[in-house]
Structure formats: C-alpha cells, structure tokens
Chain A
Amino acid sequence: MIPLITSIFAVTLRAGTSLVYATVGEIYTENSGILNLGVEGMMMMSAVTGFATAFYTESVWLGFLVGMLVGGLLGALHAFLSVTMRANQVVSGLSITLFGTGLASFLGQRIGPAANNFNLAGLTGPRLTAQPIAGLVNIPILGAMFSQDFLTYAAYIFVPLAWYYLYKTRNGLNLRAVGENPITSVAMGIDVVKTRYIYTIVGGMLVGLGGAHLSLSYTPGWTENLTGGRGWIVIALVIFAMWNPARAVLGAILFGGINAIQFRLQAIGTTIPSSFLNMLPYLMTVIILVLMTIWESFKKRVGAPAALAVPYMREDK
C-alpha cells in the first residue's frame, strides 16, 4: 500500500509542476489587475516552440528558455491590447487562446523535419529527466518528493519566494496596490501602466515555463492538443488559491493527483469507461468553483483583486 501511495504521489508532483508555475504566473498577472484568459493558448505555444527548439538544438534548457520567451511575448501582446489599447480583457485573452492553439497546431505540423513529413508529433527529443536524490528517495511517501526533475525541485523553493515577494516586499505591495486600486497607487507614485506590463509579461513567462514543462518533461514530446485544457484549469486554480502563490501548491497537488489516479485506474483496467475518467478534472473544476464561490459569499470576503479586469484610463478620471 505504501509503495502505491508513494508512486501516486510522485506522479501527482510530476503532473502538478507545470500547473504550479503557470498558476503562480497567472496569480502575479491577476494581482496587477489584468485577467489573462490566454493561458491555454500560451501554454500550447510554449510547449510546441520549446519542444521544437530542444529537438533542433538538442538542448533542453534552450527549449525552456524559448518556451518562456514565447510565453512572455504573448503576455506582452495581452498587455498591449488590454493596457495600452484598453481592449476588453476577456476577449483579448480568449483571442490569445484561439490564436495560440491554432498557431501551435499549425507549427506542430509544419516545422518538423522533412523526414517526418514536417511533423513534430511522434518525435523524441531531449527531455528533462528525473534526478532522484539518493537516500531521501527511500523515505516512505515523502520520498516521492525526491524522485523528481530539476524544475519540480526548483518549485519547492520558487513557491515560498513567490509568496514572500508578493506579501513581504515593497515591490509586491506596489503590485497588489495596482490591482486593488490603480488611482490610489498613482498617488503613491507607482506607474500603473508599467507595473501591469511587467507582471503580465512575467506571468506569461511563468505560464510558458509550465507549458514547456509539459512537452519537455511531463509528456514528453509534442502531440496535437497537448495541454488538453490545463490552461483553463490554471485559471480556476488561481481562484482556488485565492490569488495567493502559497495556496497554488494545494490546487496543483489536487489536480496533479486527479491525473495520477486517472492513470492508475486506467493502468489496472477498471470497468469505468476512459471517457468518464477523463471528465474528472473538468467536472472537478466546476465543483471546486461552485464551492469556492459559495464559501466566499458565506465568509463575505472576496479574494479577487478589486480592479481585476477593469481597464485603467487616466483620461477618464
């Protein structure tokens, strides 16, 4: 029983890693008052470009770098549309998702090697391999934490730092001020436009890192529709985490766990049709959203930044 739990927990952490980075990224973006619904498209683009880079350069790290850059670029596009051009943030984010999924699918069938009919799907490239830490791996259950790849280990440090930065530093305070009340933060001497640009781009880079982790470590490789709605689950996880990076871990473990149990059940061959097993994460998201909403209204507290998705217009004052 213990080895079984340990192995499920290990898969949970592996599946949860991309979710953690992307969720923390989106938490930063949303704390600045920008809602980015483009996560799904950004993860897809980072996954395909990251994999292609790693495949051609044979460097997994260059793959992650390009994935992050692509995520940051799409974040910058969202910032340009929603901050500078004051576009509706919901529509702008949706556009990025639609464009990103379309372009990723196009690139996946176009930029592969001629030998593979220009396809990226079905290729094996370099991947980030697990580096078990000798000794610690053998601890029952918790040993699962030490049989992971580098980015999962990095997440153990990254999440506390992300929490500390947001709640305990001057920059973090300024960031939250912009998301809560842009007009007041101007009076505090904060550049609202600059802040929103920075954190939408930084958030995009983290989302990109999460996307690249899918094609360079978790899956690994590129397949059509690789993310399978993970980007949307990330947006739900931000609500679940109540915009707090520390709580993003819980959500990532929960959804990583659903993935892990799904695989386990499929592996042992249950009588439940796989379609129903695959519905689990999506149904779970709806249930969690409903519960969170009821809980928030019951507690009379809203976790969302007050100015989330509200365009800031200096001239309209």
Chain B
Amino acid sequence: MQIYFEKRKSLSRRASLLVPFISFLVALLLGAILLLLTGVNPIVTYQAMVRGAFGSTYAFSETLVVAIPLMLTSLGVAIAFRMRFWNIGAEGQLVFGGIAGAGVALHFADFIPGSLVLPTVLLAGMVAGAIWAGIPAALKAYLGVDETLTTLMLNYVAILFASYLYYGAWRDPMGMGFPGTARIVEDAWLPRIFGRAHYGLIFAVIAGIILWFIFNRTRWGFELKIIGENKTAAKYLGIKIASNIVLALLLSGALSGLAGAAQVAGIFRRLQTGLAAGYGYTAIIIAWLAQLNPIAILFVSVLMGALFVGGDQVQMMMGLPSAVGFVLQGLILFPMLAGMLFTEYRLRIIRPEKSQSVESEAAS
C-alpha cells in the first residue's frame, strides 16, 4: 500500500472552511490533556473561561474590549501577509501609536479646538503606527533586508521607549509611584458604547468591510495578492513591487497604530504599563486562522478576545495562570497548519492489485 499527496486542481473550499473549525476543537482537546497533566480539571476550566468571556453583558463587553485591538491589528497584519510580507511587528506599531496618541493628548490638547482633539489623537496614532511599519517596509523594498527580524526588533524598541516615557519623562508627578502618565483631557476620550467597549469597535468593523472590498474588488488588492504569490509574474504585469510594499505596510501599521491610540483614548485614558499586552502577536494567529479574510478576522478576533478574558477569569477564580489562554491560542495553529495541506492536496491511497484481491478473498 502506498500513500501520497496529490495536488488538487483548485483549492478545496470545503477543506478551507472545515480546517479552522476542526483545528479549534483539536486545540481544546490538546489543551485539556495539558491541563490534566498539570493537575487541573479541564472541564471546570473551560466552563469558567466561557462564563468569564460570555456569561454576562459585562463579560461580553470585556471580551469586546480585547477584540477591538485584536481586530485592528489582525486586519493590519492581514494586509502585509497577503503580500507574504511577514510583519510580526504589530505589537510595536500598536505601542508606538499609543505613544503618539498619548503625546498629542498630553502635550498638544491645549492648542487644538476641543472637538478636534480626539480625531487628532487617533490620527497621530495612525501616523506613528504607519511610520513604525514603514521603516522595515522601506528597508525590505529598497534594500532587501529581512522583514521578520526588523519588524520584531522594533517591537522591543517601541515597548522600551514607552516604558521610558511612563516611568521617566512623562510620568505623572502626582501618580504616587504608579507607572503611568497623568490622565489625558476629557476631549481626547474615545466614547464608550457599553461597559468599556468603545467606538473603536465601529472603526474596526468599517476597516474590515473596506479591506474586504479592497482585497476582492479592486485592482490594488489583486496586485498585492500577485506580489505575494509570484514576484516574477508581478514584475511582468508591470506592478511596482517596492512602492506597493511600502504603501501596504503604511496602511498595515496605521491600523495597528489606531488600535494603540484607541487603547489609550478609550480604555486607559493615559499611557501606562499594560499597553503591550501581546495583541500584536495574537493578531498573527487570527490573521492566519481567518485565512486573511477581513470579515472572518472580525469574528475570530471575538473568539480570541474570549480566550484572553477567559484566561484572566480562570486566574481570578481558580488561581490558574492566565497564560492558559495563550497556550490555547498557540495550540490552534498546529492542527491548522497541518490541516491546510488538505486544501491544496488530497490524500491518495494506492493498493497494489494483488494484495487487494487477497483482501477481498479474505473478506468473502
């Protein structure tokens, strides 16, 4: 008997829908085994996580609070991944956006008319995020410098810079030792819809719809895809690769920067420790799980947000490390990666003629 993979003529739609779903179940199963091994009851843990994330209006609003930055950063990451540009710097782009938003709100609010303060704060966040993604993009596009490493290294730089600001230069002198800046003016607050869930949700949904349109209905979306799939073909089609990389990454970074500014203006209302919560890394998982489909990203973000909030909940209720949420997030990727093979290939089993007849004889 021989088993081998045969390439499908076209991607299997059924497989690409089934694989993420099954992967999630497999991750829950693997997670359960892991929890058992460390002496924890997995069913109780999962129940507590679900209740913590969806059990009440408050719980659901907290899940959305996490889902908002996840949506924005994942959409940003998806733009880059579509071109096979491995932007793993969403975390730093988010933090840099938060720094710029807080900077405007803290130091320039007095010079801006009241109603324009919030838009300026959000815009500053987007510009800062775009710059933070634009640097590695330009290095890649014009010099060919590997982007996985540069985007990642800039995460550390942004996070350390933020900590320098809230521990040092911008620290609130009245803060009694709390690592954070003073509270930003009320004009810079991003209004909340319910609970702490703020209008960033609307931005994220609009961004998702626009991106879906760009990806599926515009020439530019098509160009990005070609650049990702076949650089040589892109060149022959007259697509400007370098400027497209930079442009797409400016947009990618702007979305993450907006996420950061929205965290500052909508949640913390100051620059403080906790801005870098790992959303930029989870965004990579979400983008991949949603197979870079912007609409799917919005829903997967809520699911992943639930893992964050549920993880915090088991920490409070059961004294388990909240990292259990991160473990489950990571676990989803493995069955997903292994399963993706079946969207492109199908399994063929060939039995030699002779053994087949022997088998059928034995059966009869």
Interface set of A (CB-CB < 8 Å, partner B): 37, 77, 80-81, 85-88, 90-92, 94-95, 98-103, 105-111, 229, 232, 235-236, 239, 273, 275-276, 278-279, 282-283, 285-286, 289-290, 293-294, 297, 315-316
> Does B203 sit at the interface, judged by CB under 8 A?
no
With A290-B143, A294-B143: A99-B330 Cβ-Cβ less than 8 Å:
yes
| Interchain CB contact (< 8 A) of A103 among B145, B164, B168, B327 | B327
> Does B321 sit at the interface, judged by CB under 8 A?
yes
Q: Is the CB of A81 within 8 A of B152?
A: no
Of the A-B pairs whose beta carbons lie under 8 Å apart in the complex, a sample of 9, sorted by A's number, is A37-B148, A88-B337, A91-B333, A95-B334, A102-B326, A103-B327, A106-B321, A293-B145, A315-B6
State the total of A-B contacts with C-beta under 8 angstroms.
132
Complex Cα spacing A235 to B86, Å: 15
Complex Cα spacing A111 to B153, Å: 31
Point out the residues of chain A lying under 8 angstroms from B150, CB to CB.
286, 289
> Does B167 sit at the interface, judged by CB under 8 A?
yes
CB-contacts of B31-58 with A (<8 A): 34, 38
Q: Determine which residue in A37, A105, A229, A289 has the highest number of CB atoms from chain B within 10 A of its CB, and name it.
A: A289
Interface set of B (CB-CB < 8 Å, partner A): 4-7, 34, 38, 86, 88, 139, 143-146, 148-150, 152-154, 156-157, 160-161, 163-164, 167-168, 281-282, 284-285, 288, 320-321, 323-324, 326-327, 329-331, 333-334, 337-338, 340-341, 345
With A99-B333, A297-B144: A275-B160 Cβ-Cβ less than 8 Å:
yes
Shortest distance between the CB of A42 and any CB in chain B (Å): 13
Determine the main DSSP class of B at the interface with A.
helix
Point out the residues of chain B lying under 8 angstroms from A77, CB to CB.
334
| Interchain CB contact (< 8 A) of B152 among A88, A232, A279, A283 | A232
Complex Cα spacing A103 to B145, Å: 31
Shortest distance between the CB of B122 and any CB in chain A (Å): 26
With A293-B146, A315-B6: A99-B156 Cβ-Cβ less than 8 Å:
no
| Interchain CB contact (< 8 A) of B161 among A111, A235, A275 | A275
Point out the residues of chain A lying under 8 angstroms from B329, CB to CB.
98, 102
Complex Cα spacing A91 to B291, Å: 12
Point out the residues of chain A lying under 8 angstroms from B143, CB to CB.
290, 293-294, 297
Point out the residues of chain B lying under 8 angstroms from A103, CB to CB.
34, 323, 326-327, 330
Q: Is the CB of B321 within 8 A of A283?
A: no
With A297-B144, A315-B7: A95-B330 Cβ-Cβ less than 8 Å:
yes
Q: Is the CB of B338 within 8 A of A110?
A: no
Shortest distance between the CB of A64 and any CB in chain B (Å): 23
Q: Is the CB of B160 within 8 A of A276?
A: yes
Shortest distance between the CB of B210 and any CB in chain A (Å): 25
With A98-B329, A315-B5: A110-B38 Cβ-Cβ less than 8 Å:
yes
Complex Cα spacing A278 to B288, Å: 32
| Interchain CB contact (< 8 A) of B145 among A94, A276, A279, A289 | A289
Question: In the complex, which residue of chain A has the Cβ closest to the Cβ of B337?
Answer: A87
Complex Cα spacing A77 to B333, Å: 12
With A273-B164, A286-B154: A109-B334 Cβ-Cβ less than 8 Å:
no
Complex Cα spacing A98 to B146, Å: 20
Complex Cα spacing A88 to B229, Å: 13
Question: In the complex, which residue of chain B has the Cβ closest to the Cβ of A94?
Answer: B284
Question: In the complex, which residue of chain B has the Cβ closest to the Cβ of A95?
Answer: B333
